[in-house]
Amino acid sequence: MAVTAIADWLETGVGASDPTRTRIASLGNAAAIDQETAIADRSSDLSESAPVVEDDGESPTGVFSVALVTKLNLWWKETTCLVLAEEAGRLGISDGTLRAATEMVDRSCNSSMVRIAKQYDLELQDLHARLVDLASHDQLTGLANRAVFLARLEAAISRIDRHLGGLAVVFIDLDDFKAVNDAFGHRSGDELLTILGERFTDLMRPEDTIARFGGDEFVALFEDLTDPANEAEVLAGRLHQAIAEPIVIAGEPLYMTASVGVVVVTGVEFRSEDVLAQADMTMYGVKRAGRNRVAVVELGNEMHPAAFAMASELHRALERRELTLAYQPVFAVQAGGLVGFEALCRWTHAERGAIPPLDFIPVAEESGLMPAIGAWVLEEACRQSAAWGELLGDGLSMAVNVSGRQLADPEFPSLVLHALTATGLPAKVLILEMTESILLGEHANYESVLRELKDLGVRLAIDDFGTGYSSLAYLRRFPVDQLKVDRGFVQDVAEHGDTRIMGAVIRLAHDLGLEVVAEGVETEAEQSIVQKLGCDSMQGFLLGYPLSPTLIEQTFAKGDLPAARRVAPHGR
């Protein structure tokens, strides 16, 4: 058909019609596919040609390598010229006409090769652009992916010292996202993630980055913050609020919540991976502490890189159940009987053994893990106290230490209520201890939270009293029930014999209706002092070390020991 069309053009000067050209192209495509097979059989160097794919369904098309297309074009030119020569001889066509036809075929094939090369370049550029997009963006939401985010974070950290202020990394994890997939299907879950991605993008400034790390995790980078901590909290709050807005899926409005961890960076001593890990841990702390909140942790040049390593291990310690509680007994000063316990967190590392609380508690505070650890300690202590009610006797108090980060969370009273309800522990048994340095911190404003806790029926205690403040007027501000006098007071009286300050503190506390607990009683002389000064209860190594639940049960089970021996149980 092609040769006939060429002959007609040579004879009449009229080119083939469009239908004829379409037909020739279709048959030529099929012939090319057949020829590909034939050539492949003869030429091993063509074995890497691309596989055959199908177009929009009308007819199969070959997707060939450039080498194969070139060989097919040369084969077509050579074969066509041979057929033209044969036909010219049979029809008696002049050599000049044959030469003109041959030159036309040659020019046509050369033009075809140029068009093929141009098309190849265009498709190669398009493919490269798509590969770049695949390598740098999440394919579902179109947001940046992990690799791009880390590269931008690394660059942003390196620029911190050129600007006043710092940057913030916000790690977002949706709460109960699996329930969406289970209820509505994965397609609806994908739609929800896409909608959230669009909402986040609308809230970002031009210089910021929002990325999806897969699943239901999003991470944002906010750069050039002049007031990093406050600005980061506001920006993270906007993202958190965007999640709270209803999302319509399959005609139904869905209401999502998220746990958000924010890390503020003001120094250049951090690697992007470390900062991201810190943000992840902070988010994890929120999730363990009740979810649906924003927690902010500030990092500066003063934080040693070793803290990151311990924070990561502490994060895993929660998952691996390496944390346990030891319970230090508390005794009545005058009657001498057991009145309660203080729950103390212990960490037994899988490889390094016991790690002192003074080493890991500050790291937990700095890394944002304290809310998660505190939530676990609270519920575990309540559970253990409720279990001991039958064995050791009702009414024994259980004291649990509370951090400033926990008190700063307006949802903390709800967390306490959940722990009491889940374990069945009467609220009056629980004592929440907080240091005076926390209550009187620069930005502390805990009155409302403390009032809510009091309304639950739990008791509140000020721990380590006397370690940093001389004014006692603030005792009227907070609805506390108990004052725990620091060991330093007790030790000072024992060494110097001056009882005036400690005696005044105890009298003032009693005048305010507060119970006084003496901490750190380690000698008989110190025990005698707290008895003379009128403390209500006491604890310390002289009376009993922090013990495991098993040793507590063996030592204090009802009826197992006479009352006199219960006063001073020893042993680590």
Over residues 267-307, the pLDDT tens digits come to 777 788 888 888 888 888 788 767 788 888 887 644 555 66
pLDDT over threshold 50, residue 569? no
Which residue in the block uniquely carries the two structure tokens 């770049």?
Answer: 132
Q: Are 327 and 546 in contact (CB under 8 A)?
A: yes
Q: Which of 79, 108, 136 is the last residue of a domain?
A: 136
Same domain, 104 and 175: no
Look at 129 and 96; give whichever has higher pLDDT: 96
Which residue in the block uniquely carries the two structure tokens 């363990």?
Answer: 288
And the tokens for 274?
């470390």
Amino acid at 392: L
pLDDT over threshold 80, residue 64? no
pLDDT over threshold 50, residue 517? yes
Segment 455-489, tens digit of pLDDT? 999 999 998 887 655 456 677 778 899 999 888 88
Helix (H, G, I), strand (E, B) or coil at 344: strand
Same domain, 23 and 170: no
* DSSP codes, 411-455: THHHHHHHHHHHHT--GGGEEEEEEHHHHT-TT---HHHHHHHHH
The domain tally of the chain equals 3
Band (pLDDT 50/70/90 cuts) for residue 50 is very low
Q: Are 143 and 134 in contact (CB under 8 A)?
A: no
473, containing H or E segment: none
* DSSP codes, 4-40: HHHHHHHHHS-PPPHHHHHHHHHHHHHHHHHHHHHHH
Same domain, 392 and 460: yes
Q: What is the DSSP letter of 144?
A: B
Q: Cα angle at 354 between 353 and 356, to 5 degrees?
A: 145
Look at 510 and 29; give whichever has higher pLDDT: 510
Instruction: Assess if residue 354 is contained within a domain.
Output: no
Same domain, 20 and 122: yes
Same domain, 291 and 402: no
Band (pLDDT 50/70/90 cuts) for residue 566 is very low
To the nearest whole percent, how much of the chain has pLDDT over 70? 85
Helix (H, G, I), strand (E, B) or coil at 73: helix
Segment 410-419, tens digit of pLDDT? 888 999 999 9
Instruction: Assess if residue 335 is contained within a domain.
Output: no
Same domain, 167 and 294: yes
The percent helix, strand, coil of the chain (3-state, each to 5) is 55, 20, 25
Amino acid at 281: M
What is the domain-level CATH number for residue 189? 3.30.70.270
Same domain, 522 and 381: yes
Burial class of residue 177, CB neighbours in 10 A (0-12, 13-18, 19+): middle
Look at 365 and 324; give whichever has higher pLDDT: 324
What was the pLDDT predicted at 51? 40
What was the pLDDT predicted at 44? 47
Helix (H, G, I), strand (E, B) or coil at 470: coil
Instruction: Assess if residue 340 is contained within a domain.
Output: no
Please provide the size of the chain in residues.
572
Which residue in the block uniquely carries the two structure tokens 């007609």?
Answer: 8
Mean pLDDT of 417-424: 94
- Beta-bridged to residue 391, according to DSSP, are none
262, containing H or E segment: strand 258-265
Torsion of CA 503, 506, 509, 511, to 10 degrees: -70
And the tokens for 454?
């009091």
Segment 151-191, tens digit of pLDDT? 899 999 888 877 778 899 999 999 988 888 888 888 899 99
Q: Are 274 and 305 in contact (CB under 8 A)?
A: yes
What was the pLDDT predicted at 251? 82
pLDDT over threshold 80, residue 118? yes
Q: Please give the C-alpha separations between residue 570 and each of 329, 338, 438, 536, 564, in angstroms, as whole numbers.
A: 10, 14, 32, 21, 13
Segment 208-223, tens digit of pLDDT? 999 998 889 999 999 9
Amino acid at 537: S
Q: Are 68 and 49 in contact (CB under 8 A)?
A: yes
Instruction: Assess if residue 231 is contained within a domain.
Output: yes
Q: Are 172 and 283 in contact (CB under 8 A)?
A: yes
Band (pLDDT 50/70/90 cuts) for residue 423 is very high
Q: Which of 288, 303, 318 is the last residue of a domain?
A: 303
Q: Are 220 and 209 in contact (CB under 8 A)?
A: yes
Same domain, 167 and 125: no
- Beta-bridged to residue 252, according to DSSP, are 249
Average pLDDT along the chain: 82
Q: Are 199 and 245 in contact (CB under 8 A)?
A: yes
pLDDT over threshold 80, residue 341? yes
Instruction: Assess if residue 317 is contained within a domain.
Output: no
Instruction: Assess if residue 360 is contained within a domain.
Output: no
What range does the domain containing 469 cover?
372-561
Measured between alpha carbons, how far is 287 from 174 in angstroms, rounded to an integer? 10
Instruction: Assess if residue 350 is contained within a domain.
Output: no
Instruction: Assess if residue 416 is contained within a domain.
Output: yes
